[in-house]
Amino acid sequence: MSSDSPDELDARDMERLAAGEDAALNSIIQRHGEKLFHYLIRQLRDDGDAADLAQETFVRVYQNRQKFDLRKSFSTWLYTIATNLIRNKFRWRQRHPEVSLEPNDDQAWREPVAAGPSPSESLQAEERAKEVRAAIQQLPLELRTCLLLSEYEGLAHLEIAAVMKCSAKAVESRLYRARQHLRAALEKNFAEK
């Protein structure tokens, strides 16, 4: 068992990848692939698009392997690439709107239900979770990205600042505004019921 930190493992794998050892990318994907995919699903709400962008993110990691600064955080770099791809995807969606003939079952967003609660409690919890997800989707992209990177991905304010290309104070402000918007939207939804 290795005592290396995830950052040390990432730096070592990126060093190997830059040296031409392509198999190092597999280790990177194993460590970051699932978490990155979930971030992309939360942003895009489409598992097909999320899978495509996850793959494209790792393609970009490979293509830019020589440019990565080993002194910096790999996960910050990875999420910066993914966030830029998300922005591009949203721009593309605006230019190419599509109408789905399939009902929107929100399957990719369903949270696993723990054993124990009654069916009505589970239904209420699922409904609340669906309302929270819908409220998060209504946030402006920069607020939603900050919130998801903080709450779901566990990135620190400085890491989010690097991904978003802003200051840590701006991240703090965006997180505050995102939470205020969410609180207002959810209070409105619950007041209407």
Residue 61 sits in a domain whose CATH number is: 1.10.1740.10
Q: What is the pLDDT of residue 100?
A: 53
Whether 182 maps to a domain, the answer reads yes
Whether 179 maps to a domain, the answer reads yes
pLDDT tens figures, 37-91: 999 999 998 899 999 999 999 999 999 999 999 999 999 999 999 999 999 998 8
Around 101, how many Cα atoms within 13 Å sit in the side-chain half-sphere? 0
Query: Do 79 and 12 have their domain in common?
Result: yes
Query: Do 27 and 65 have their domain in common?
Result: yes
CB 9 within 8 A of CB 31: yes
Q: What is the pLDDT of residue 87?
A: 92
- Looking at 38, 60, 95, the residue that finishes a domain is 95
Query: Do 138 and 56 have their domain in common?
Result: no
Question: What contacts 16, CB < 8 A, 6 or more positions away?
Answer: 23, 24
Where does the pLDDT of residue 5 fall: very low under 50, low under 70, confident under 90, or very high at 90 and above?
A: confident
Q: What is the pLDDT of residue 135?
A: 87
Query: Do 1 and 43 have their domain in common?
Result: yes
Whether 138 maps to a domain, the answer reads yes
Query: Do 88 and 123 have their domain in common?
Result: no
The owner of tokens 């910066």 is 80
Query: Do 158 and 80 have their domain in common?
Result: no
Query: Do 32 and 77 have their domain in common?
Result: yes
Q: What is the pLDDT of residue 99?
A: 58
Containing domain of residue 1, as a range?
1-95
Query: Do 126 and 79 have their domain in common?
Result: no
Where does the pLDDT of residue 180 fall: very low under 50, low under 70, confident under 90, or very high at 90 and above?
A: very high
Query: Do 124 and 78 have their domain in common?
Result: no
CB 36 within 8 A of CB 56: no
Query: Do 9 and 90 have their domain in common?
Result: yes
- pTM of the full predicted structure? 0.70
Query: Do 91 and 127 have their domain in common?
Result: no
Supply angle C-alpha 170, 174, 177, rounded to 5: 140
Whether 87 maps to a domain, the answer reads yes
pLDDT tens figures, 122-169: 777 788 888 888 888 999 999 999 999 998 888 999 999 999 999 999
pLDDT tens figures, 86-131: 999 988 888 877 655 555 544 444 444 444 566 777 777 788 888 8
Number of domains in the chain: 2
CB 135 within 8 A of CB 186: yes
Q: What is the pLDDT of residue 130?
A: 84
Whether 58 maps to a domain, the answer reads yes
Query: Do 129 and 192 have their domain in common?
Result: yes
- Looking at 56, 80, 95, the residue that finishes a domain is 95
If residue 184 lies in a helix (H) or strand (E), which one and from where to where?
A: helix 168-192
